[in-house]
Amino acid sequence: MSPQAVTKFMTESGWARAAGVPKETLSRLKKQPSCDLRTLGALARAAGFDLVAVPAGQRSAEPMPGSLTRDYESELLDLAASGNMDPDAWRTHGCSFFMGGLATMLGSAAGFEREKYLWLAESLHPGVTTPEVFALWLRRSPVRASRFLPMAKRRKRRT
């Protein structure tokens, strides 16, 4: 949430002011990443996020795929080339974390509309566009950018 807040407010001090917390709070959070729920909620609201409690069994309807079949890869390439930015349509193709990471990857590539894909990624899985979470996605994902992105660009040109 921090990168989006700094983009929105230009500085951490601006973010803290908008959240109604002392600016030292953000400094403390860098050293000790823990705070009370009221502080977290204020920072989240100011940055444009909602805090949501989700029952443990409902976090993900399905796990991230361990591998890609050619058919599934082709389906993902069609989706990437389609320009469809409907999160519900993307969720039908895989779990939110996997699809959010795919949208982040596309938003980071030349030839794809960065803002739209990053918005989609955050809609699918809040936080997936942060470097730490996206790095985790890259380690776990069966999608290899060096293979997928050139194929997605070719398919997009054909549509």
Cβ-contact 6, 15 below 8 angstroms: yes
Instruction: Please give the average per-residue pLDDT across 21-26, as a whole number.
Output: 88
Return the pLDDT at 29. 85
- Could you tell me the end-to-end alpha-carbon distance of the chain, in angstroms, rounded to an integer? 35
Q: Could you read off the pLDDT of 105-138 as tens digits, one per residue?
A: 999 999 999 999 999 999 999 889 998 889 989 9
Return the pLDDT at 53. 59
The torsion of the CA quartet 112, 136, 86, 7, rounded to 10 degrees, works out to -70
Cβ-contact 104, 137 below 8 angstroms: yes
Please give the Cα distance from 149 to 125 (Å, whole number). Answer: 21
Residue 95 has pLDDT above 60, yes or no: yes
Instruction: Please give the average per-residue pLDDT across 59-64, as a whole number.
Output: 60
Count the helix, strand and coil residues of the chain and give each as a percent rounded to the nearest 5: 65, 0, 35
Greater confidence (87 vs 11) lies with 87
